[in-house]
A and B are shown apart, each in its own frame.
Chain A
Amino acid sequence: MPKAQMRRWLLLAILVVAFTVLISRMELWEATLRFLFPQESRVLHPRASLLVLVGEHIRLVAISSGLSILCGIPLGIWVTRPGGRNFLPIVTDLTSFGQTFPPVAVLALAVPMLGFGLLPTVFALFLYGLLPIVRNTIAGLSAVPADVLEAAAGMGMGRARRLLRVEIPLAATVILAGVRISVIINIGTAMIGAVIGAGGLGSPIIAGLVQDNLAYIIEGALPAALLAVLADQLLANIERVFAYSAETLT
């Protein structure tokens, strides 16, 4: 692995450790927030410790984004194959339309069908996170130069091999950029899961809004922001692993 990349992974590891230490020191949070907001009777959300809240949040995002990836990439691949090409316009339209749909509305619609809690939240996040992944998968695969595909076919590579050895490697950075956007959006959007009882870092924020307690809001928002930054770095590092251009390789 090139030196520059090694340094990036090392930096990320240090940041993750620092973050974990930070959220596990509740007494530190209590002291700081009390200093900032002396008028509040409580400065920490009583439901659970930050470690638990961050854990819930990560679980929520991991499940929903995992599902988005598992469905989104194959869907994007399928509509760029001869067999699924007829569905390409529909899927493209749906993804751009879906992006304009507010996640709260999806959530509101999901509750009557799936009840309260984790399930409707995961469902809403899954749908919302699907869009950038599908869109980028389609974009990445469509951007593979026609002459490269012709050469691959002309040399006798089969469909599957062409996809795995040529198309996906060439589209990988664009696809992964879609995954990154999707995950970052989901980390933010997962906050609203707290409204219907899915837990996560949304809990203190919602409580803070309801009770007009700024300390609660900060308790939820700050770790969420840091989490997003870490996830972004992690996925950016993974993207670099798949970049093939000579400059990044030598």
Chain B
Amino acid sequence: MIRLEQVTRYYGNTIAVNELSLEVSQGEVCVLIGPSGCGKTTTLRMVNRLIEPTAGHIFINGQDNSQIKPERLRQSIGYAIQSVGLFPHMTVAANIATVPELLHWEKSRIASRIEELLILVGLNPAEYARKYPNQLSGGEAQRVGVARALAADPPILLMDEPFGAVDPLTRERLQSQFARIQQKLKKTTILVTHDLDEAIRLADRIAIMASGKLVQYDTPETILSRPANKFVHDFVGTDRALKRLSRISIQSVIKPSPAIVMDVSIEEAVSVIGSRPSVWVVADDGRFIGWVDMTSLSAATSVREAIVPGDVDEIAITASATLREALSRMLGQGLRNIPVVDEKKHFIGEVTLSDVEAVTAETAETGA
């Protein structure tokens, strides 16, 4: 747990952080976000005592951090700095090994940890372990920086724009990787970003800062639905309703929906359709296959013939998807309802546009 109490930091006459109070619970991810120069990096650097607050206190698991020896404190806090700062005279492997070596890990344990971490951040150990930082691209260096911060498995992480320099595709992968690891390892994390979508995706709580002050500290849902003031309102943008959808799982709007197997008769299919526009078709073992509607049935001699085949990956979504993904799938495919499948592509139910709209409307109502 990290708790900041009325923390203030001056640089000469400029005030970088102004009476900031913030609590990050055990195992939670707090994302710091705000305009450039609002004091995010300064805040991180006070947590691990790279700089000392001008006033106020910071507690790590209840202990005032000014009472902890800086070296010991920092070895227990993984820190990925904004500009990466890899050691240019050391290989990627040696860079990652820094903290484990400080902690006197055994050589074999360090070696396997390096390999594990490189794989984790998506770099092939055989290719990258022996490279030098000047042989890496900006994004690769940044990933090595993250691996280095995670190396000794610290309970607390401070990450200053850890995915800033990687391409959107890799960033998305690293983000979901991070989310997955976080779910398992539950590190107490403060992560800085400029990317609101990243914040919404990764945060348990978002701390929005402006000119050294904390403007709002809330769950992403609350930030999006009830911005505390005009600054936050403008900051989250006009598409906040849409952004909010990416925090909501489709679980609540999955509806059971009738599905037929391929070898039912046309009459039976028509009766199942009833007043609906179409009906889903599954294989005998429940795998999703496609759908039939009145138009396709009227021109066919059997149900099998009438099936409009649907590529599962193109139109169906998994139960763990978000409303935003569901919506984008519907809009992209021009469908008013889309099927939901499990990991084995077995049909579970459907999500309809009107239900998604209902949730969106709810968001708009409760918003400011």
| Chain B binds chain A | yes
Partner-B contacts on A (CB < 8 A): 145, 147-158, 161, 166, 169-170, 244-246, 249
Find the residue from B71, B84, B86, B134 having the highest chain A CB count within 10 A: B71
Q: Tell me whether B131 and A145 are in contact (CB under 8 A).
A: no
Extra contacts besides A156-B70, A169-B89 (12): CB < 8 Å: A149-B85, A151-B148, A154-B50, A155-B148, A156-B72, A157-B98, A166-B89, A170-B89, A244-B88, A245-B132, A245-B134, A246-B131
Name the residue on B nearest A154 (C-beta).
Answer: B79
8 Å CB contact of A150 from B75, B81, B98, B102: B81
**Known A-B contacts A150-B50, A245-B134, A249-B132; A156 and B71 likewise in contact (beta carbons under 8 Å):** yes
* Interface secondary structure of A, over-half rule: helix
Instruction: Give every chain B residue within 8 A of A152 (Cβ-Cβ).
Output: 85, 87, 98
Instruction: Assess A147 versus B84: contact at CB under 8 Å? Given A154-B79, A158-B71.
Output: yes
A residues in contact with B132, CB < 8 Å: 244-246, 249
Is the pair A151, B89 in contact by a Cβ cutoff of 8 Å?
no
Chain A residues lying within 8 Å of B45, measured Cβ to Cβ, are 154
- B135 adjacent to chain A (CB < 8 Å): yes
Cα–Cα, bound, A157→B71 (Å): 6
Known: A145-B85, A147-B81, A245-B132. A156 touches B73 (CB 8 A): yes
Closest residue of chain B to A149 (Cβ to Cβ) is B85
> A161 contacts which chain B residues (CB < 8 A)?
102
Q: Which residue of the partner chain B has the closest CB to A157?
A: B102
Q: How far is the CA of A166 from the CA of B98 in the complex (A)?
A: 11
Which of B75, B82, B135, B148 is within 8 Å of A156, CB to CB?
A: B75
Residues of B within 8 A of A244 (CB): 88-89, 132
* Min CB–CB distance A227 → chain B (angstroms): 32
Selected contact of A148 from candidates B70, B79, B88, B134, CB within 8 Å: B88
In the complex, whether B345 has a CB less than 8 A from a CB of chain A is no
Interface string of B74-98 (1 = CB under 8 A from A): 1100010111111111000000001
Shortest Cβ distance from A150 into chain B, in angstroms?
Answer: 6
Question: How many residues on the B side are at the interface (Cβ–Cβ under 8 A)?
Answer: 28
Nearest 5 CB-CB pairings of A with B: A151-B85, A156-B74, A156-B75, A244-B89, A147-B85
Which residues of chain B are within 8 angstroms of A170 by Cβ–Cβ distance? 88-89
Name B99's closest neighbour in chain A (CB-CB): A155
In chain B, what residue has the closest Cβ to A153? B50
A16 CB → nearest B CB, Å: 30
Give the complex CA separation of A154 and B145 in angstroms: 12
Q: Which chain B residues border A169 with CB–CB below 8 Å?
A: 89
- Report Cα–Cα, A151/B99, bound state, in Å: 11
A245-B132, A245-B134, A246-B134 known; A155-B88 Cβ under 8 A: no
- Bound-state CA distance A148–B45 (Å) is 15
**B48 sits at the interface (CB 8 A):** yes
Q: A151: which B residues are within 8 A, CB to CB? A: 79, 81, 84-87, 145, 148
The minimal Cβ–Cβ distance linking A69 to chain B, given in whole angstroms, is 22
A–B Cβ pairs within 8 angstroms, 30 of them: A145-B85, A147-B81, A147-B84, A148-B85, A148-B86, A148-B88, A150-B81, A151-B81, A151-B87, A153-B50, A153-B74, A154-B45, A154-B74, A154-B79, A155-B74, A155-B75, A155-B79, A155-B98, A155-B99, A156-B70, A156-B74, A156-B99, A157-B98, A158-B71, A161-B102, A169-B89, A170-B88, A244-B89, A245-B132, A245-B134
The closest CB in chain A to the CB of B133 belongs to: A246
* CA gap between A150 and B102 in the complex, in Å: 16
Q: Which of A148, A151, A157 counts the most B-chain CB atoms under 10 A from its CB?
A: A151
Q: Which of A147, A155, A249 contacts B83 (CB 8 A)?
A: A147
